[in-house]
Amino acid sequence: MRHAHRSNVFLMAVMMALSPMVHAQLPDFTGLVEQNNAAVVNISTTQKVAASDQGSPLPPGMEIPEGVPLDDLLKRYFGEGAPGMPPMPGAPQPPPGGPEGADPGESKSLGSGFILSQDGYVITNHHVIRDADEVVVRLQDRRELVAKIVGSDKRSDIALLKLDAKDLPVVKLGSSDALKVGEWVLAIGSPFGFDHSVTAGIVSAKGRSLPSDNYVPFIQTDVAINPGNSGGPLFNLQGEVVGVNSQIYSRTGGFMGLSFAIPVDVAMQVVDQLKSQGKVSRGWLGVQIQDVTHELAESFGMKKPEGALVAKILPNSPALEAGLQIGDIIEAFNGKGIATSSGLPPMVGATKIGETAKLQVLRQGKSIEISIKIGMLPDEEPKVAAAEEPSKGDQLARLNVAATNPTDAQRQQLQLPKTGGVLILGVKPGPAAEAGIQPGDVILRVQDQTLKDLKQLQELVKGLPKGKTVALLIQRRGGTQFLALKLKD
């Protein structure tokens, strides 16, 4: 017993000795906050809402407090169309039975921002000020100034405001490229309207691609971000802004340890263009790309899955003019390697319009270099209507699908070429279903063979080797992609 008591005393002494050492390694954020608090602002907006657009009364106990940004909360933080997340129910609505004296025809939104220059340039998120009739910026000294929207960019979720003021406190800008995973970072903002709230965490990852944001390589952190933090700064320990807080990923609507910030380097590229021309122009190749999976890498004879696989080339595009082909795998852009397809759009988007870029491409097992003149990304991509599915067709036993040659009407509706391709009418459990083929898909080619008609597909399927993966190029709802097919018998 005496020996055990001595051991416990010794362990307690060691823990007490180590405690100050561990505590000393944790960062002290007080100086950083004191230095930068004044340059962080609260942003509120008003938007006129038609009476017919106002929502029905909410159940008792579910009233939404004044100032909570419904658009911010429902779209950017709950996530629109993300897996496991409820869809955005519509435009922001004023709270029914709201505070006495509130205008029922106005919708209020709330966010954060930070001051870039002493003469009043302020950066925030596009979604914070979207469709706003008036934007009011509240400073730390409680002054409220009406801001002018210099410009706003939906694709990067960055907006630039201008205040009529002088000698304002400003932030110091850092480099998001120099940021390292595991580094401490701090956010200042107005979650739920609580001005100048401070939260901290670490960088969880860099270069994250989100489904609705192809041109932003997000910084992922575990900093607690909530509605109202949108547009606020993310600082490193040197007190430099390294990111603009934008959104979280959550299955519940609350913070779950996954928050995302726009790299400051990307944000400032957008700001420079908004200042000079009021809008943002991005580089464009005119291709639809996808990741190379392990199965597709096997079908293309690659040692490991990497690069951006070209699944579609748009008409009148730089890619078409440069001779890029469907099935090419872009391995590098201007000497920078591409590990996954999500790495390519930000590189292309940041390239100047008209500049010639060098692509390292893997084509049918051989590495080639292609020069391509960068075009300008169109404002909107064409929308394609979904096709109606016919009820019958020929059976392909090895794939366990029903298929047919598309009619002229179907070709027009699906925006298919005048010839070629096979329309899938039905899919039963089997190799095709396992590969991800769905009714309504159009198979355009098998490995390197472009399909002319159903008869050719039937012959190709008969000759496919057992146990070997082959690449199928399909068109689905206007987009094209490769699927990996493996026949078991």
Blockwise average pLDDT, block size 10, the chain, 489 residues: 55 57 74 96 82 43 37 40 36 36 60 96 95 94 95 94 96 95 96 93 91 84 93 97 91 80 96 93 92 90 92 91 93 94 91 95 93 90 45 72 87 82 89 89 89 89 85 87 86
Give the class (CATH, top level) of 283-376: mainly beta
Report the pLDDT value the prediction gives residue 249, as an integer from 0 to 100.
Answer: 80
Q: What is the pLDDT of residue 253?
A: 67
Q: What is the pTM of this model?
A: 0.72
Region for 382 from its dihedrals, namely left if φ exceeds 0, alpha if ψ lies in -120 to 50, beta otherwise: beta
Q: Which residue in 71, 72, 153, 157 is the catalytic one? A: 157
CA nearest 269: which of 332, 217, 317?
217
Sign of CA dihedral 307, 311, 317, 321: positive
Beta bridge pairs of residue 473: 445, 482
CA angle, residues 212, 81, 76, in degrees to nearest 5: 65
Closest residue by Cα to residue 311 from 321, 302, 324: 324
Q: What is the model's pLDDT at position 200?
A: 96
| pLDDT at position 399 | 87
What is the sign, positive or negative, of the torsion defined by CA atoms of 399, 405, 407, 408?
positive
- Of the residues 126, 127, 195, 265, only one is catalytic, namely 127
Which homologous superfamily is 394-486 in?
A: PDZ domain (2.30.42.10)
> Does 56 qualify as catalytic in the annotation?
no
Q: Residue 103 has what pLDDT?
A: 55
The yes-or-no answer to whether 283-376 and 394-486 have a common fold is yes
Q: Are strands 184-189 and 233-235 parallel, antiparallel or unpaired?
A: antiparallel
CA distances from 481 to 68, 270, 382, 461 (A): 41, 30, 17, 19
User: Residue 136: which of 153, 125, 127, 149 has the closest Cα?
Assistant: 149
How much is the pLDDT for 11? 57
Handedness of CA 295, 298, 304, 309 (dihedral sign): negative
- The verdict on whether 230 is a catalytic residue reads yes
Spot the catalytic one: 230, 250, 317, 342: 230
Beta-carbon contacts of residue 53 (< 8 Å; ≥ 6 apart): 91, 93
CATH value of 31-50+66-277 in 3.30.1330.30, 3.50.40.10, 2.40.10.120, 2.40.30.40: 2.40.10.120
CB 270 within 8 A of CB 280: yes
Strand-pair category, 240-248 with 172-173: parallel
258 contacts: CB under 8 Å, gap ≥ 6 = 204, 220, 222, 248, 249, 250
Q: Who contacts 475 (Cβ-Cβ below 8 Å, separation ≥6)?
A: 312, 414, 416, 421, 441, 442, 444
pLDDT number for residue 13: 59
pLDDT (0 to 100) of residue 56: 40
Task: Tell me whether residue 53 is one of the annotated catalytic residues.
Answer: no
How is residue 73 written in tokens?
């909360």
* In the chain, domain spans: 31-50+66-277, 283-376, 394-486
Say what the pLDDT of residue 93 is: 36
- Give the residue from 355, 481, 383, 378 showing the smallest Cα distance to 155: 378
Q: What is the pLDDT of residue 67?
A: 39
Residues with Cβ within 8 Å of residue 245, at least 6 apart in sequence: 112, 187, 189, 223, 225, 229, 230, 231, 232, 233, 234, 259, 260, 261
